[in-house]
Amino acid sequence: MAGGPAIGPSVLQESNDMLIGVTSFAFRWFVQQQGRGATGSSLHFDLLRKAKECDAEVVQFCENLPLHHFSKRELASLRQAAADLGLGIEVGIRCCRRDVLQRYLSIAELLQSRILRVVLEDDENPPARSQLPALIGALVPELRSKEITLAIENRQSQTPAEIKDLVLSIGDPHVRVCVDFLNSLYHLAGPREVIGALGPFAATAHAKDATVSRCGNGFLARSSVLGEGVVDVTGAFDQLCSTGNLLSMHVESYLDQSSPSEDALGQEQEHARKGLRFLAEARRRREPSDLRPWAHDER
Protein backbone atom coordinates (compact mmCIF):
# COMPACT_ATOMS: atom_id res chain seq x y z
CA MET A 1 0.00 0.00 0.00
CA ALA A 2 3.04 2.24 -0.19
CA GLY A 3 1.66 3.76 -3.36
CA GLY A 4 -1.31 5.33 -1.53
CA PRO A 5 -1.95 9.07 -1.34
CA ALA A 6 0.62 11.24 0.38
CA ILE A 7 0.03 12.06 4.01
CA GLY A 8 -1.33 15.56 4.35
CA PRO A 9 -4.08 17.71 5.83
CA SER A 10 -6.59 17.31 3.03
CA VAL A 11 -8.65 14.63 4.79
CA LEU A 12 -9.12 16.53 8.04
CA GLN A 13 -12.70 17.31 8.87
CA GLU A 14 -14.23 20.77 8.61
CA SER A 15 -13.75 21.32 12.35
CA ASN A 16 -10.00 20.87 12.38
CA ASP A 17 -8.87 23.21 15.16
CA MET A 18 -6.45 21.56 17.55
CA LEU A 19 -8.25 20.69 20.79
CA ILE A 20 -6.73 20.23 24.22
CA GLY A 21 -8.03 17.59 26.57
CA VAL A 22 -7.36 14.66 28.86
CA THR A 23 -7.22 10.91 28.43
CA SER A 24 -8.87 8.54 30.88
CA PHE A 25 -5.35 7.71 32.05
CA ALA A 26 -5.04 11.26 33.39
CA PHE A 27 -7.48 10.01 36.05
CA ARG A 28 -6.25 6.44 36.36
CA TRP A 29 -6.57 6.35 40.17
CA PHE A 30 -10.06 7.83 40.03
CA VAL A 31 -11.06 5.21 37.44
CA GLN A 32 -9.53 2.42 39.52
CA GLN A 33 -11.13 3.49 42.78
CA GLN A 34 -14.55 4.49 41.49
CA GLY A 35 -14.71 1.56 39.11
CA ARG A 36 -15.01 -0.83 42.04
CA GLY A 37 -18.44 0.49 42.95
CA ALA A 38 -19.64 1.99 39.69
CA THR A 39 -22.44 0.35 37.74
CA GLY A 40 -22.97 0.34 33.98
CA SER A 41 -21.56 3.39 32.25
CA SER A 42 -21.79 5.84 35.18
CA LEU A 43 -18.02 6.16 35.49
CA HIS A 44 -17.72 7.38 31.90
CA PHE A 45 -20.18 10.18 32.62
CA ASP A 46 -18.35 11.00 35.86
CA LEU A 47 -15.10 11.33 33.91
CA LEU A 48 -16.71 13.75 31.47
CA ARG A 49 -17.73 15.97 34.39
CA LYS A 50 -14.26 15.82 35.95
CA ALA A 51 -12.71 16.73 32.62
CA LYS A 52 -15.04 19.69 32.24
CA GLU A 53 -14.12 20.90 35.73
CA CYS A 54 -10.50 21.02 34.53
CA ASP A 55 -11.47 23.01 31.40
CA ALA A 56 -10.84 20.19 28.93
CA GLU A 57 -12.27 20.46 25.43
CA VAL A 58 -12.09 16.77 24.54
CA VAL A 59 -11.82 13.45 26.41
CA GLN A 60 -10.06 10.40 25.03
CA PHE A 61 -11.45 7.18 26.51
CA CYS A 62 -8.66 4.60 26.57
CA GLU A 63 -8.49 0.92 27.51
CA ASN A 64 -8.73 1.58 31.24
CA LEU A 65 -12.28 2.81 30.58
CA PRO A 66 -13.47 0.71 27.60
CA LEU A 67 -16.56 1.31 25.51
CA HIS A 68 -17.31 -2.01 23.83
CA HIS A 69 -19.92 -3.04 26.43
CA PHE A 70 -22.06 0.02 25.62
CA SER A 71 -25.27 -0.37 23.65
CA LYS A 72 -25.97 2.05 20.80
CA ARG A 73 -28.43 3.85 23.06
CA GLU A 74 -25.81 4.21 25.81
CA LEU A 75 -23.26 5.49 23.31
CA ALA A 76 -25.78 8.06 22.08
CA SER A 77 -26.39 9.14 25.69
CA LEU A 78 -22.64 9.48 26.28
CA ARG A 79 -22.26 11.55 23.11
CA GLN A 80 -25.14 13.79 24.16
CA ALA A 81 -23.74 14.21 27.68
CA ALA A 82 -20.42 15.29 26.21
CA ALA A 83 -22.15 17.70 23.84
CA ASP A 84 -24.14 19.20 26.72
CA LEU A 85 -20.84 19.86 28.51
CA GLY A 86 -19.24 21.29 25.39
CA LEU A 87 -16.82 18.35 25.13
CA GLY A 88 -15.67 16.23 22.25
CA ILE A 89 -14.95 12.52 22.57
CA GLU A 90 -12.09 10.47 21.17
CA VAL A 91 -11.89 6.69 21.29
CA GLY A 92 -8.87 4.56 22.22
CA ILE A 93 -8.12 0.84 22.42
CA ARG A 94 -5.20 -1.51 23.08
CA CYS A 95 -5.65 -4.32 20.60
CA CYS A 96 -4.32 -6.11 17.50
CA ARG A 97 -7.44 -8.02 16.46
CA ARG A 98 -9.15 -6.89 13.30
CA ASP A 99 -12.67 -7.64 14.54
CA VAL A 100 -12.16 -5.60 17.71
CA LEU A 101 -10.60 -2.73 15.78
CA GLN A 102 -13.57 -2.70 13.41
CA ARG A 103 -15.95 -2.73 16.35
CA TYR A 104 -14.19 0.29 17.82
CA LEU A 105 -14.30 2.06 14.48
CA SER A 106 -18.08 1.74 14.65
CA ILE A 107 -18.03 3.05 18.22
CA ALA A 108 -15.87 5.98 17.14
CA GLU A 109 -18.32 6.78 14.34
CA LEU A 110 -21.29 6.72 16.75
CA LEU A 111 -19.46 9.02 19.16
CA GLN A 112 -18.38 11.32 16.31
CA SER A 113 -14.74 10.76 17.21
CA ARG A 114 -12.29 11.99 14.61
CA ILE A 115 -9.65 9.65 15.99
CA LEU A 116 -9.29 6.00 16.92
CA ARG A 117 -6.11 5.86 18.96
CA VAL A 118 -4.61 2.36 18.99
CA VAL A 119 -1.88 0.62 21.00
CA LEU A 120 -0.84 -2.31 18.83
CA GLU A 121 -0.33 -4.81 21.62
CA ASP A 122 -2.08 -8.04 22.52
CA ASP A 123 -1.15 -10.07 25.60
CA GLU A 124 -2.78 -13.26 24.34
CA ASN A 125 -1.92 -13.44 20.65
CA PRO A 126 0.40 -10.65 19.54
CA PRO A 127 0.90 -10.53 15.76
CA ALA A 128 4.35 -10.53 14.21
CA ARG A 129 5.55 -7.10 13.10
CA SER A 130 5.48 -8.35 9.52
CA GLN A 131 1.71 -8.86 9.85
CA LEU A 132 0.90 -5.33 11.01
CA PRO A 133 0.90 -3.60 7.58
CA ALA A 134 -1.72 -6.06 6.29
CA LEU A 135 -3.78 -5.76 9.51
CA ILE A 136 -3.85 -1.97 9.43
CA GLY A 137 -4.06 -1.73 5.66
CA ALA A 138 -7.24 -3.79 5.65
CA LEU A 139 -8.91 -1.07 7.76
CA VAL A 140 -8.12 1.78 5.39
CA PRO A 141 -11.31 1.59 3.26
CA GLU A 142 -13.44 1.79 6.42
CA LEU A 143 -11.30 4.59 7.84
CA ARG A 144 -11.84 6.55 4.64
CA SER A 145 -15.59 5.97 4.49
CA LYS A 146 -16.07 6.90 8.17
CA GLU A 147 -13.59 9.82 7.96
CA ILE A 148 -11.71 8.58 11.00
CA THR A 149 -7.96 8.73 11.54
CA LEU A 150 -6.27 5.71 13.10
CA ALA A 151 -3.54 7.00 15.43
CA ILE A 152 -0.94 4.41 16.45
CA GLU A 153 0.59 5.18 19.84
CA ASN A 154 4.26 4.59 20.58
CA ARG A 155 4.58 2.07 23.39
CA GLN A 156 7.03 -0.56 24.62
CA SER A 157 6.33 -3.08 21.87
CA GLN A 158 7.64 -0.88 19.04
CA THR A 159 10.38 1.68 18.65
CA PRO A 160 9.56 5.08 17.15
CA ALA A 161 11.43 4.06 13.99
CA GLU A 162 9.31 0.91 13.67
CA ILE A 163 6.07 2.90 14.01
CA LYS A 164 7.30 5.41 11.44
CA ASP A 165 8.10 2.59 9.02
CA LEU A 166 4.66 1.05 9.60
CA VAL A 167 2.87 4.32 8.85
CA LEU A 168 4.96 4.87 5.75
CA SER A 169 4.28 1.33 4.56
CA ILE A 170 0.53 2.01 4.69
CA GLY A 171 0.95 5.34 2.93
CA ASP A 172 -2.53 6.66 3.66
CA PRO A 173 -3.39 9.91 5.50
CA HIS A 174 -5.98 8.09 7.61
CA VAL A 175 -3.22 6.11 9.33
CA ARG A 176 -1.11 8.35 11.52
CA VAL A 177 0.42 8.45 14.99
CA CYS A 178 -0.46 9.25 18.60
CA VAL A 179 2.78 10.70 19.97
CA ASP A 180 3.35 10.00 23.66
CA PHE A 181 6.15 12.14 25.01
CA LEU A 182 7.58 9.57 27.44
CA ASN A 183 6.39 6.08 26.45
CA SER A 184 9.50 5.35 24.42
CA LEU A 185 11.87 5.79 27.37
CA TYR A 186 11.63 1.99 27.44
CA HIS A 187 13.75 2.11 24.27
CA LEU A 188 15.94 4.95 25.65
CA ALA A 189 14.25 7.35 23.24
CA GLY A 190 13.46 10.71 24.81
CA PRO A 191 10.81 13.25 23.78
CA ARG A 192 13.04 15.05 21.26
CA GLU A 193 13.88 11.81 19.47
CA VAL A 194 10.28 10.60 19.54
CA ILE A 195 8.83 13.85 18.22
CA GLY A 196 11.60 14.15 15.66
CA ALA A 197 10.72 10.73 14.25
CA LEU A 198 6.93 10.72 14.67
CA GLY A 199 5.92 14.39 14.83
CA PRO A 200 5.33 14.75 11.06
CA PHE A 201 2.79 11.91 11.26
CA ALA A 202 1.04 12.95 14.49
CA ALA A 203 -2.76 13.21 14.60
CA THR A 204 -2.92 13.43 18.39
CA ALA A 205 -0.50 13.46 21.31
CA HIS A 206 -0.22 12.55 24.99
CA ALA A 207 1.62 15.31 26.82
CA LYS A 208 3.61 14.23 29.86
CA ASP A 209 6.36 15.69 31.98
CA ALA A 210 8.68 14.13 34.54
CA THR A 211 11.47 14.73 36.98
CA VAL A 212 14.50 12.47 36.76
CA SER A 213 16.81 11.50 39.60
CA ARG A 214 19.53 8.96 40.30
CA CYS A 215 18.30 5.73 41.85
CA GLY A 216 21.11 3.40 42.86
CA ASN A 217 23.01 2.66 39.69
CA GLY A 218 20.12 3.78 37.49
CA PHE A 219 17.63 6.59 37.06
CA LEU A 220 14.09 7.17 38.26
CA ALA A 221 11.54 9.18 36.26
CA ARG A 222 8.53 10.46 38.18
CA SER A 223 5.46 12.17 36.77
CA SER A 224 5.25 15.91 37.22
CA VAL A 225 2.94 18.74 36.26
CA LEU A 226 3.42 19.86 32.65
CA GLY A 227 6.12 22.51 32.50
CA GLU A 228 7.61 21.63 35.88
CA GLY A 229 9.81 18.70 34.81
CA VAL A 230 12.67 18.08 32.39
CA VAL A 231 10.57 17.82 29.21
CA ASP A 232 10.55 20.85 26.93
CA VAL A 233 6.75 20.76 26.71
CA THR A 234 6.51 24.18 25.02
CA GLY A 235 9.00 23.14 22.36
CA ALA A 236 7.21 19.83 21.84
CA PHE A 237 3.86 21.61 21.56
CA ASP A 238 5.19 24.08 18.99
CA GLN A 239 6.89 21.36 16.93
CA LEU A 240 3.80 19.17 16.81
CA CYS A 241 1.45 22.07 16.02
CA SER A 242 3.73 23.33 13.25
CA THR A 243 2.75 20.37 11.04
CA GLY A 244 -0.80 21.68 10.79
CA ASN A 245 -2.14 18.13 11.12
CA LEU A 246 -2.55 17.81 14.88
CA LEU A 247 -6.17 17.32 15.89
CA SER A 248 -5.71 17.14 19.66
CA MET A 249 -3.26 17.07 22.53
CA HIS A 250 -4.09 15.41 25.83
CA VAL A 251 -2.74 15.73 29.35
CA GLU A 252 -1.76 12.36 30.77
CA SER A 253 0.05 11.38 33.97
CA TYR A 254 1.31 8.31 35.78
CA LEU A 255 1.36 9.17 39.45
CA ASP A 256 3.23 6.49 41.38
CA GLN A 257 1.01 5.29 44.21
CA SER A 258 0.53 1.83 45.70
CA SER A 259 -3.21 2.50 46.00
CA PRO A 260 -5.64 5.28 44.99
CA SER A 261 -5.57 7.36 48.16
CA GLU A 262 -7.42 10.66 48.56
CA ASP A 263 -4.06 12.37 48.13
CA ALA A 264 -3.47 10.62 44.80
CA LEU A 265 -6.95 11.55 43.58
CA GLY A 266 -6.35 15.18 44.47
CA GLN A 267 -2.93 15.18 42.84
CA GLU A 268 -4.12 13.80 39.53
CA GLN A 269 -6.97 16.33 39.43
CA GLU A 270 -4.46 19.12 40.05
CA HIS A 271 -2.05 17.70 37.45
CA ALA A 272 -4.85 17.66 34.88
CA ARG A 273 -6.02 21.19 35.69
CA LYS A 274 -2.53 22.70 35.62
CA GLY A 275 -1.56 20.71 32.54
CA LEU A 276 -4.57 21.93 30.59
CA ARG A 277 -3.85 25.48 31.68
CA PHE A 278 -0.27 25.08 30.41
CA LEU A 279 -1.42 23.77 27.03
CA ALA A 280 -4.06 26.49 26.71
CA GLU A 281 -1.41 29.14 27.30
CA ALA A 282 0.92 27.49 24.77
CA ARG A 283 -1.89 27.56 22.22
CA ARG A 284 -2.73 31.20 22.96
CA ARG A 285 0.84 32.16 22.10
CA ARG A 286 0.30 30.88 18.57
CA GLU A 287 -1.70 32.72 15.93
CA PRO A 288 -4.77 30.77 14.73
CA SER A 289 -3.23 30.56 11.26
CA ASP A 290 -0.20 28.86 12.76
CA LEU A 291 -2.39 25.99 13.92
CA ARG A 292 -3.77 25.54 10.41
CA PRO A 293 -1.02 26.70 8.05
CA TRP A 294 -2.78 25.26 4.98
CA ALA A 295 -5.92 27.39 5.50
CA HIS A 296 -4.69 30.24 3.28
CA ASP A 297 -3.73 27.83 0.51
CA GLU A 298 -7.23 26.35 0.32
CA ARG A 299 -9.12 29.60 -0.07
pLDDT of 58 strictly over 80: yes
241: in domain: yes
pTM given for the model = 0.89
Instruction: Tell me, yes or no, whether 169 lies in a domain.
Output: yes
Helix segments in the chain, DSSP class H: 28-35, 42-53, 72-84, 98-110, 132-137, 140-146, 160-170, 191-198, 233-241, 262-284, 288-291
Residue 231 CA to its chain's centroid (Å): 18
> Is residue 297 a part of any domain in this protein?
no
pLDDT in tens, 213-262: 999 999 888 889 999 999 999 999 999 999 999 999 999 987 776 566 77
pLDDT for 256 equals 72
Is 15 or 56 the better-scoring residue by pLDDT? 56
pLDDT on residue 260? 63
pLDDT at 174: 98
Alpha-carbon distance of 253 to 257, in angstroms, equals 12
**Going along 144-259, which residue ranges are E strands?**
149-153, 175-180, 202-207, 209-215, 218-224, 248-251
Tally of domains in the chain: 1
Tell me the pLDDT tens digit for each residue of 73-86: 999 999 999 999 99
**Tens of pLDDT along 137-167?**
999 999 999 999 999 999 988 999 999 999 9
CA separation, residue 239 to residues 195, 200, 233, 272, 283 (Å) = 8, 9, 10, 22, 12
Q: In this structure, is residue 129 part of a structural domain?
A: yes
Higher pLDDT, 255 or 14: 255
Q: What is the DSSP letter of 129?
A: G
What is the distance, to the nearest Å, from the Cα of residue 121 to the centroid of all Cα atoms in its chain? 15
For 9, the 3-state DSSP assignment is helix
Rounded Cα gap, residues 176 and 200, in angstroms: 9
Q: Please report, rounded to a whole number, the percentage of residues in the chain having pLDDT higher than 70.
A: 87
pLDDT for 291 equals: 47
Residue 227 lies in a domain: yes
pLDDT exceeds cutoff 60 at 190: yes
- The pLDDT score that the predictor gives to residue 258 is 57
Given a contact cutoff of 8 angstroms between Cβ atoms, the answer to whether 191 and 231 are in contact is: yes
**Per-residue pLDDT averaged across 262-269, rounded?**
85
What is residue 5's predicted lDDT score, i.e. its pLDDT?
36
| In-domain check, residue 172 | yes
Decide if 237 contacts 209 (C-beta within 8 A).
Answer: no
Is there a domain that residue 299 lies in?
no
pLDDT in tens, 97-107: 999 999 999 99
More confident residue, 219 or 299: 219
More confident of the two residues 123 and 197 = 197
CATH number at 111 reads 3.20.20.150
Does the residue 199 lie in any domain?
yes
| 260 against 264, higher pLDDT | 264
- Expressed as residue numbers, the domain containing 150 is 15-288
Q: Taking all residues of the chain, what is their mean pLDDT, rounded to a whole number?
A: 88
The three-point CA angle 38-40-45 to 5° equals: 75
pLDDT at 16 over 80: no
Residue 24, amino acid? S
Q: Label residue 1 by pLDDT band (50, 70, 90).
A: very low
Overall average pLDDT of the 20-25 stretch: 98
